[in-house]
Structure 1
Amino acid sequence: MVSLEEFHQYFTQSILSDAESRTLLRPQAFFETVCEDLVSIGDLTKNYTYAEYTKKGTEALGYDFDEERGVLTILNHQYFQDDGIQTLTKTQLDSKFTRMKSFLKKSFEGFYLQMEETSDAYSMAYNLKKYYEKNQIIKIRLMLLTDGRVTRTLTDISSEFFLNFHTEFRIIDIEYLHKIYSIAGGIGEFEIQVDLPYLKVNNEDNSYHSYLTVISGDTLVKVYEDFGQKLFEQNVRTFLQFRGAVNRGLRNTIETAPEMFFAYNNGITATASSVEFGENGNINVIKNFQIVNGGQTTSAIYAANKVSKMDTSKVSVQMKLSVVTESNNQDEFVSKVAEYANTQNKINNSDFFSNSPFHKDMKSYSTRIFAPAADGAQRRTHWYYERIRGEYLNSQAYLSAVDKRKFLLENPKNQLIDKTLLSKAENSWNQKPDIVSKGAQDSFKKFAENISETLENDKLAITESYFKDAVSKIIMFRTVERLVTKSSWYDGGFRAQTVTYTIAFFSFIIKEMEINLNFNIIWQNQTIPESLLFLLEKIAEKIYFKITSPPPGFANIGQWTKNHKCWESVKELKIKFDKIDDNLFITNEEVKYVQKEEKNKKTVDTGIDMQVQVIKTPIKIWKTLYVYYMENKSALKLSSMQSDILSKMASGKITLPSEKQSAILYNLKKTAEGEGLKFSNV
């Protein structure tokens, strides 16, 4: 377990590394890092926006608006930038919250009219005014982010009514951030208070406990109001509002026949880490409550109550609650429950991207492949692929001081590949800058969809070459970030949008020329060649002025860049280049040749790996597997060839399986494991 002090040191260095690699001021790097963590656990939505405004007595660094719940969050920070953990004082808290209130009040009064239209603060104030005028706001949160620690006496600040809105005060300090990294899955510890009668389904010997219960519409509304997206971290869906037939049906039932909701609706499937029982015998506390199926039901009931002002007191929802007793199995268990429970509407394979073989391949390559030594460095390094948040830090947790230094030398922080950065770089190159501009979550979802579709069509698509190209795109993305920041024409604001549109446009024009960028040049040098840097800078300048001059009807630049029409207008730009270095590019034929060679190599590597794993598997496991299939416990019906090979392997007649036999045996074992067969006690 990483201590708070160790985490603070890691966190501080992480912010410093991020700021240096992206040419950001450290406070902005701190803000973005913390907000991304809060999005991942549901404390903020994917729509949060950085927009700094600081004047005497008035201050805000960003905002977030949960349209479904009507929750407006004003963001600010107290960033100490200190090597030690500082303590936040009451005076500092009061000052920050007072300034945030001032900004909010002025924004509701039309503050944006006094600002420069191209600034981020203008967009922020403009949107706050819009939400206010349209009566979309139900609740306000003032949220302060800090790398310091808040004493217990200051953590709970009473809510109040401000500008006729219920207003809450939240402080996200270093201890809270530490918990996010410490808890498996990153959902964060929380508990809900309920009073639910139940029927227990299984006995104490099971690895999980199941309860059937009924939860009222009003209780569900209260729970969702308090915890929002936290409830759906393991849900493969997002709420689709009342667009589809299912959701319209939910609304009609709530409005016209609420007492029939129980009969008409399939209910909710949920998981938890534990439950507590009250004196009346009912469940009264559910810890780490996760709705893995029933997001539409929950959101529909909430919207009916809060938006349409319908009475939900007569609505009853059936709920199947599974409590995982072994914390080590929680992620796998919840993933399986979500996969098998979500059959109401069509689910794309990309929705289960967390289980994709993509991660295994990327992790394998990141561990095996050394990056070329650059700038005269004597030690070769890895680009560390972090599939799960906190994995990079946890890898260092139990290392000795010597081993930790070695780990950091081989896996430097500035070569950490997190999924968010990877998705931005890939989507930008794949000409989806409008998606990237919508935020990290939308960007990652589109990336997952693309990868899932690619793997469905070609299981060998993630090769060593793919990994190196992906790293090269990340290098390009970070380089353009620095390039924009340092440019004389850049006036501040909308840097992220400028970066993604620049890369997308460059990708677009070379595709129009029917040539391909030679990413291997970037990989070998671990940097962008000067000739390519010149092209990107010229494009970036044109892009910046193009996207910050939206057409009539799109006064908000931030919203304009999220619109696909913005990308269509950018593609109309005509940029003349005096000279293009031919060494930067390769032909389509060369690309196809490399891809073919890489797939052949991967096929061989995969076959050898399967043989090794099959040979290492004890014969008693093959015997268990043979019985499993012969007793028809599997949904898979074996062919005569599969049955013969498995039978001979179980009886010891095959001592050295061929590559083909190994592939069959390996896949039979994986299928059975996927169906729940355990070999741990064999």
Structure 2
Amino acid sequence: MLTLNEFHVDFLQSVISDSESRGLLKPQSFFELFCEDLVDIGDLSTNYTIGEYTKGNMEVYGYDYDEERRIFTVINFHFFQSDEIQTLTKQQLQSKFNRLKRFIKASIDGLYLDVEETSEAYSLAFNLYQRVKAGHVDRFRLMVLSDGKATKSASEIPSETVDGIINDYRVIDINYLFKIYSSHNEGSSYDIDIKIPYLEIQNDSDEYQSYLSLLNGNQLYEIYDEYGQRLLEQNVRTFLQFRGGVNKGIRNTIEYNPELFFAYNNGITATATSVEMENGFIKKIENLQIVNGGQTTSAIYAAKKNGRLDISNVNVQMKLSVVKSPEKEGEFVSRISEYANTQNKVNKSDFFSNSPFHKEMKTYSKRIWAATMGGSQQRTHWYYERVRGEYLNEQAYLTPAQRRQFAIENPKKQLIEKTLLAKSENTWMQKPHVVSKGAQYSFVEFAEKTTSQLEKDQLAITENYFREAVSRIILFKAVEKIISNADWYENAYRAQTVTYSIAYLSYWLKKNNQYLDFNLIWEEQQLPYALKDVIKIITKEVYTILMDPPDGFKNVGEWCKKEHCWEVVKKAKINFTLPSKLLKTEREQQYVHKEERELKKIDKGIEAQKFIFETAFEKWISLYAYYCRQENLRDLTITQRDILRKFTNGQLSVPSEKQAEILFEIYNRTKELGWDV
């Protein structure tokens, strides 16, 4: 397993790689990468926004607002940029916190009036002012991020109340990030002290132990108030507020019949990594995760927090499963999420983590070699990282020599993160307003689109798609760099300008029935000079448009999230010409698409045949017996049942590719139904 020092070195390499590929300063890359990890585990919400203001004795780089808990977070950082882990002192932290406190006070006093309206800082200062004046902030959370390691005494700073609002102080250092990486559930380990009754459910499973328990409304409120979205990080849905009938029913029950809540509500389904008991009560739960019942939890919380309702007579049943096998935890929790969530409609994207898309992308990322660059003879891969930390984890048990070879073949700058892929693809699909809402919103949109596409056409993800997707990532990063180096760029709203500029190019091509030859980017692993020249023209014009929002939209960041903004940009008449050498004809596009699909069919057939022969024959016999039961007879077509029967009877010693695909499909479908074949 990797040590803290090795993790620190890897994290710094990520910062350097990100900085170089995107044209950012290292502190900017450090801050963005750090915050993305915190959004991932729920320490920051999807409302997190970059907003830099450094002037005089005030300093802030980003902010977040948790609407449910009414917590406004302001973020500062201390980046050492050292090869060795440095100690973060109490004096350094106090200085950073004091700068944040002064900014909060100035913002409450109307700082936004003295800030340029089109700057990111204006959005931050105005949002803070507006929410405080409206009485929508119960707590400020002052957060300092660092690649150093804080001592316990330095990081434990007590909360204080300023002008009736609680100020909490959070220090998130490299050790905290390391715990996130090390934890099996992708979140830092935490214990919840509690006292709840339980009934142990007897079973012989090696995977889990289950308990039935009961939580009082106030207990659930306090847990959510403390841990927020971290409790729901593996949950498949977010709170729908009181829009749906189910949630209105929950609120009505809390308000008018709280004593009947237990009878009316399905309760919550949760997992944990361990529990401690004492005198017939569960007294401690480690890493509690609510995988079903997120809306119940949020509704109870909102009823007390916003509705000021009494929840002391509300009781909620909890089905708690303690996962015994850490290596199976992710799969086990995912399965519980999928099977338990039937109360409301669940979007396809909610289960995207189980999509075959990931397997396809991972297979191609390991198989396809990128073109060499700059005279080098070393071929490399673009590494697809489905789960945060996967790239680092794959190196955990390699020897030093093997790690060096891995790094050479899978350079950090060629790491494909799923959220970056989503931003790049959504941008090319002309959804810049969605991308501007943040990485998480963008990812959900991408998951919806991709899952629907795969349901219609299992041949959609081909080698050519992989190469073009990588080329679009190269394009995305190159545009970031072009904007960062432009003399007209004023260090604000780069992300929005990037996505709107590329989306405009995509729209222009489609409108003119033209196709960009992504193979030129793939072969060079960079943008052709002629394309860079076009990008420079588009980005400057788009930036000018975005910085001049219509009346009522002085906040540029919020304006960019509106579809109307995209409609305005699309109407722009930007003068440029794309040289024919950058394009390919419609016939060429169709030919490549057809050829790739034919190859994919062959690959799928061979893969299915390999799977059939590698799977124990006893499992196929069991599978056939399952579908011979009276209640399951109609689950297969006559052709499917006939092929399965012939194979188990020995009549198909070598199934054809088509027959193997049918057997493969039957096997996977049955597994998805929850039967462990």
Q: TM-score range by the shorter chain?
A: over 0.9
Q: How does 1:261-660 map to 2 (within 5 A)?
A: 261-278=261-278, 280-577=279-576, 579-630=577-628, 637-660=635-658
Residue 662 of structure 1, aligned match among 644, 660, 663 = 660
Amino acid at match of 2:106: K
Preserved contact between residue 271 and residue 334 of structure 1 (Cα < 8 Å) = yes
1:55, CA displacement in angstroms? 2.6
Alignment partner, residue 159 of structure 2: 159
Q: Deviation digits for residues 270-291 of structure 1, max 9, x if unmatched?
A: 111121112x311121111111
Q: How does 1:218-297 map to 2 (within 5 A)?
A: 218-278=218-278, 280-297=279-296
* SS of residue in 2 equivalent to 1:140: strand
Preserved contact between residue 362 and residue 384 of structure 2 (Cα < 8 Å) = yes
Q: Deviation digits for residues 46-102 of structure 1, max 9, x if unmatched?
A: 111222222332111111111121011110001100000000111111111111101
* SS of residue in 2 equivalent to 1:553: coil
* SS of residue in 2 equivalent to 1:243: coil
Preserved contact between residue 460 and residue 602 of structure 1 (Cα < 8 Å) = yes
Q: Deviation digits for residues 401-425 of structure 1, max 9, x if unmatched?
A: 2221111111110000001110111
Preserved contact between residue 118 and residue 554 of structure 2 (Cα < 8 Å) = no
1:204, CA displacement in angstroms? 5.6
Tell me, in whole angstroms, the C-alpha distance in 1 between the residues paired with 2:544 and 2:624: 67
Tell me, in whole angstroms, the C-alpha distance in 1 between the residues paired with 2:426 and 2:639: 44
1:205, CA displacement in angstroms? 4.8
Tell me, in whole angstroms, the C-alpha distance in 1 between the residues paired with 2:198 and 2:632: 32
Q: Deviation digits for residues 344-386 of structure 1, max 9, x if unmatched?
A: 1111222110000000000011110011112222111110000
* SS of residue in 2 equivalent to 1:184: coil
Amino acid at match of 1:500: T
* SS of residue in 2 equivalent to 1:379: coil
1:615, CA displacement in angstroms? 2.0
Amino acid at match of 2:320: L
Of stretches 477-486 and 527-536 in structure 1, the one that deviates more from structure 2 is: 527-536
Task: Report the TM-score, using the length of structure 1 for normalisation.
Answer: 0.96
Alignment partner, residue 29 of structure 1: 29
Preserved contact between residue 429 and residue 507 of structure 1 (Cα < 8 Å) = yes
Preserved contact between residue 75 and residue 142 of structure 2 (Cα < 8 Å) = yes
Tell me, in whole angstroms, the C-alpha distance in 2 between the residues paired with 1:306 and 1:621: 53
Of stretches 227-236 and 621-630 in structure 1, the one that deviates more from structure 2 is: 621-630
Preserved contact between residue 105 and residue 163 of structure 1 (Cα < 8 Å) = no
Preserved contact between residue 427 and residue 503 of structure 2 (Cα < 8 Å) = yes
Number of residue pairs matched by the alignment: 677
Preserved contact between residue 421 and residue 474 of structure 1 (Cα < 8 Å) = yes
1:191, CA displacement in angstroms? 2.0
1:241, CA displacement in angstroms? 1.1
Preserved contact between residue 350 and residue 453 of structure 1 (Cα < 8 Å) = no
Unmatched tracts of structure 1, length 5 or more:
none
Q: Deviation digits for residues 580-603 of structure 1, max 9, x if unmatched?
A: 301212233332222121111100
Tell me, in whole angstroms, the C-alpha distance in 1 between the residues paired with 2:557 and 2:106: 20
Amino acid at match of 1:444: F
1:193, CA displacement in angstroms? 2.1
1:619, CA displacement in angstroms? 2.9
Q: Deviation digits for residues 306-357 of structure 1, max 9, x if unmatched?
A: 1111111111112211221111211111111111111111112221100000
1:169, CA displacement in angstroms? 0.9
Task: Report the TM-score, using the length of structure 2 for normalisation.
Answer: 0.97
* SS of residue in 2 equivalent to 1:131: helix
Preserved contact between residue 176 and residue 188 of structure 2 (Cα < 8 Å) = no
Tell me, in whole angstroms, the C-alpha distance in 2 between the residues paired with 1:385 and 1:603: 23
Q: Deviation digits for residues 494-546 of structure 1, max 9, x if unmatched?
A: 00011011011111111111112111111111111111111111110011111
Q: How does 1:68-83 map to 2 (within 5 A)?
A: 68-83=68-83
Alignment partner, residue 92 of structure 2: 92
Amino acid at match of 2:556: I
CA spacing shift, 1:662–1:148, aligned 2, 3 Å:
same
Alignment partner, residue 184 of structure 2: 184
Unmatched tracts of structure 2, length 5 or more:
none
Tell me, in whole angstroms, the C-alpha distance in 2 between the residues paired with 1:604 and 1:451: 22
* SS of residue in 1 equivalent to 2:242: helix
1:231, CA displacement in angstroms? 1.0
Alignment partner, residue 214 of structure 1: 214
Tell me, in whole angstroms, the C-alpha distance in 1 between the residues paired with 2:304 and 2:88: 39
1:136 corresponds to 2:136: yes
Q: CA RMSD in A?
A: 1.7
Of stretches 655-664 and 266-275 in structure 1, the one that deviates more from structure 2 is: 655-664
Preserved contact between residue 206 and residue 325 of structure 2 (Cα < 8 Å) = no
